[in-house]
């Protein structure tokens, strides 16, 4: 059957983002992989019981997901609420699902404090981006799962088709 791919539910058209929206990714490979039974969908935040919609959240003080995992950074909502524990639980849930289903790869929405893999926001809620990854992306990567952003789907296709 081929490699399984953990995929952000919002990329598959599910309205699970913090703002109650989806960010559907349209690509022929997604249809093919869905048909082959390779896709394993998750919204890490929803798996941890976070509501939709929910306040925007960013990793504070320009830190990244690895800093949250190591306990030196927090994930804060725009109104100041601390949602670090929820994001840590979300990451653990995503890793557990990836392991249970044998996912070698993850295709995650970029920019998210959970799923971002190329960039995240800097914690100022002003739209400033910085290179780095969110909490879930960082945990998956440190556990041997190859993480690709929605903008890197062609690289993932090439990698999978080569095997």
In a domain, 61, yes or no: yes
CA-nearest of 96, 89, 98 to 6 is 98
Q: Kindly state the DSSP code that residue 128 receives in the 8-state scheme.
A: -
How much is the mean pLDDT over the chain?
A: 97
Residues 64-75: tens digit of each pLDDT: 999 999 999 999
Specify if 98 maps to a domain: yes
Q: What is the DSSP string of 65-120?
A: HHHHHTTS--EEETTS-B-HHHHHHHHHHHHHHHHHHTEEEEEE-TB-TTT-SSEE
* CB-count exposure of residue 24 (10 Å: 0-12, 13-18, 19+): middle
pTM for the full model?
0.97
* Res. 79: pLDDT tops 90: yes
pLDDT digits (tens, 9 = 90+) for 100-131: 999 999 999 999 999 999 999 999 999 999 99
> In this structure, is residue 76 part of a structural domain?
yes
Q: Is residue 82 in a domain?
A: yes
Number of folded domains that form the chain: 1
Residue 128, domain extent: 45-103+120-141
Other CB atoms within 10 Å distance of the CB of residue 21: 13
């Amino acid at each position: 059957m081929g490699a399984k791919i953990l995929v952000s539910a919002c990329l598959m058209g599910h309205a699970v983002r913090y703002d109650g929206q989806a960010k559907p990714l349209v690509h022929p490979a997604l249809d093919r992989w869905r048909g082959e039974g390779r896709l394993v969908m998750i919204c890490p935040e929803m798996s941890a019981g976070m509501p939709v919609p929910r306040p925007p959240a960013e990793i504070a003080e320009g830190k990244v997901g690895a800093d949250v995992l190591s306990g030196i950074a927090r994930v804060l909502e725009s109104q100041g609420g601390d949602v670090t524990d929820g994001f840590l639980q979300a990451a653990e849930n995503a890793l557990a699902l990836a392991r249970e289903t044998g996912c070698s790869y993850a295709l995650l929405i970029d920019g998210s404090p959970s799923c971002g893999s190329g960039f995240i926001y800097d914690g100022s809620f002003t739209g400033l981006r910085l290179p780095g990854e969110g909490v879930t992306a960082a945990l998956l990567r440190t556990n041997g799962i190859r993480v690709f952003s929605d903008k890197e789907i062609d690289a993932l296709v090439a990698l999978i088709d080569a095997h």
